[in-house]
Chains A and B, each alone.
Chain A
Amino acid sequence: MQIISAVSLWFIPVLIGFILIYGTLKKVPTYETFVEGGKEGIKMAVSIIPFLVGMMVAISVFRASGALDYMMEYIRPIIEKAGIPAEVIPLAIIRPISGNAALGMTSDLISAHGPDSFIGILASTIQGSTDTTFYVLTVYFGAVGIKKMGDALKVGLLADLAGFAAAIIVVTILFG
Chain B
Amino acid sequence: MVNYIWVFMTIIGLVFAAINGTMSEVNEAVFKGATEAVTLCIGLISVLVFWLGMMRIAETAGLLDKLSSLFRPFVTKLFPEVPAGHPAMGYILSNMMANMFGLGNAATPLGIKAMEELKRLNGGKDYASRSMITFLAINTSSITLIPTTVIAIRITYDSAAPTSIVGPTLMATCFSAVAAILIDRYFHYRRSRKG
Contact = CB atoms under 8 A, between A and B. Distances in A.
Q: Do A and B bind each other?
A: yes
Interface of A: 1, 4-5, 7-8, 11-12, 16, 19-20, 22-23, 26, 28, 30, 33-42, 44-46, 48-49, 52-67, 70, 96, 100, 103, 106-107, 110-111, 114-116, 120-121, 124-125, 127-133, 136-137, 139-141, 143-156, 158-160, 162-163, 166-167, 169-171, 174-175
A40 to B, nearest CB: 5
**Interface secondary structure of A, over-half rule:** helix
Contacts of B161: 1, 116
Given A40-B52, A155-B180, A23 B61 contact: yes
A155 B137 contact: yes
A34 B150 contact: no
Contact of A103 (B36, B149, B160): B149
B70 interface: no
Interface of B: 1-2, 5-6, 9-10, 12-14, 16-17, 20, 22, 25-26, 28-30, 32-34, 36-38, 40-42, 44-45, 47-63, 101-103, 106, 108-109, 111-112, 115-116, 119, 126-128, 132-133, 136-137, 139-142, 144-151, 153-154, 156-169, 171-173, 175-176, 179-180, 183-184, 187, 191
Contacts, number: 353
Nearest to A57: B33
Given A19-B61, A33-B57, A65-B22, 5 more contacts: A57-B10, A64-B17, A65-B29, A115-B159, A151-B191
Considering the complex of A and B, which 8 residue pairs feature the smallest CB-CB distances, nearest first?
A: A37-B56, A128-B147, A41-B48, A60-B33, A115-B159, A162-B179, A163-B176, A64-B29
Contacts of A65: 12-14, 16-17, 20, 22, 25-26, 29
B50 A41 contact: yes
A46 B42 CA distance: 8
Contacts of B132: 141, 146, 152
A69 B95 CA distance: 35
